[in-house]
Amino acid sequence: MQVKDVMTANIKCVEIPGTRAEALDLLRNLQASAIPAVKRGTNELVGMISLRKLFENPDEEQLAMLVDRDVPRISPDDPLEEAARRILASHSRRLPVLKDGRLVGIITVRDIVYRAISKMNLERPASDYMNPNTIVIWDGTPLQAALEIMVLSRSRALPVIDEKGNLVGIVDDSDIVKVSDVETESKMSHMAGRTEGDSWTWDSEDRVYITKRKLKVPDKLVRDIMEKNLITITRKTSVSRCAELMKQYRIEQTPVVGADGRLVGVVHDADLLRALI
């Protein structure tokens, strides 16, 4: 199986030069965590824009300054196993697919799991690939704090526990984005070194209005927005069955529970790629 057999060909991109607001609006509309950035008017790849980069740099407005340019790429004719290797090695969730230097598609962890692994009859237990050292979050955590925990731990989603340690839900960064507003903020900056003839000066000193758009996280708790209908697996659930569940319920991770229903780990969709290599 080759990359072109499972990649997504019709993709949405942001263009460089561009603005933070354009990228943020597209990410929210697509409910995506990252999108390709191309040179304006072409399909020439510049790099990737991620939601995480926007969170980490709230004051940067120029899109060119927010692009991750050092991203691995792949050809549509490469084997699927090579795509899995590059994704895992780069700790990425997607690879731009280039042909003759032009962007022709993107292959994601989801593409590989949904369109390939779920159909391969891989019987090895998915729990063999789980991470037993799982970061969890309390359901009474404010969303702003939850977002900071995700950024610092480099996690897109976290299992949620109550005050007794029971698994009660899961929350991911897209849940937070969906309930947040894009806020426009203007402030006046006083500039030094005025020169005669500056069109934006008055009253004997230099002033410029700076307008920014950023994500405003609401004053809510994790329990208010978390997904409560959990899809879980056991230690014996196979890799392909786990992939089928992820595809059926459109999820990126499944908590692994023991016989007593207690959380023992989490299998992420990217973990399943290790079954291919």
The CA distance from 177 to 215, in Å, is: 8
pTM above 0.95, yes or no: no
Tell me the two tokens of residue 125: 């237990």
Going by their DSSP bridges, the two strands 253-257 and 34-39 should be labelled as: unpaired
Q: Going from the N-terminus, what domains does the chain have, and what CATH number goes with each?
A: 3-115 (3.10.580.10), 126-169+219-237+251-269 (3.10.580.10), 181-216 (no CATH)
pLDDT tens digits, 215-262? 688 889 999 999 999 999 999 999 999 999 999 999 989 999 998 888
Look at the block and give the residue holding tokens 């950023």: 214
Going by their DSSP bridges, the two strands 181-191 and 157-161 should be labelled as: unpaired
Q: Supply φ then ψ for residue 244, to 5 degrees.
A: -60, -45
Please report, to the nearest 10 degrees, the dihedral formed by the alpha carbons of residues 210, 211, 214, 220 taken in order.
100
Per-residue pLDDT of the chain (277 residues; tens, 9 = 90+): 999 999 999 889 999 998 888 898 888 888 788 899 999 988 899 999 988 788 788 888 888 899 999 999 999 999 999 999 999 999 889 999 999 889 999 999 999 999 999 999 999 999 999 987 889 999 999 999 998 898 888 888 899 999 998 999 999 888 888 888 766 554 444 434 444 444 333 333 333 333 445 668 888 999 999 999 999 999 999 999 999 999 999 998 999 999 888 899 999 999 999 999 8
Tell me the β-bridge partners of 188.
Answer: 209
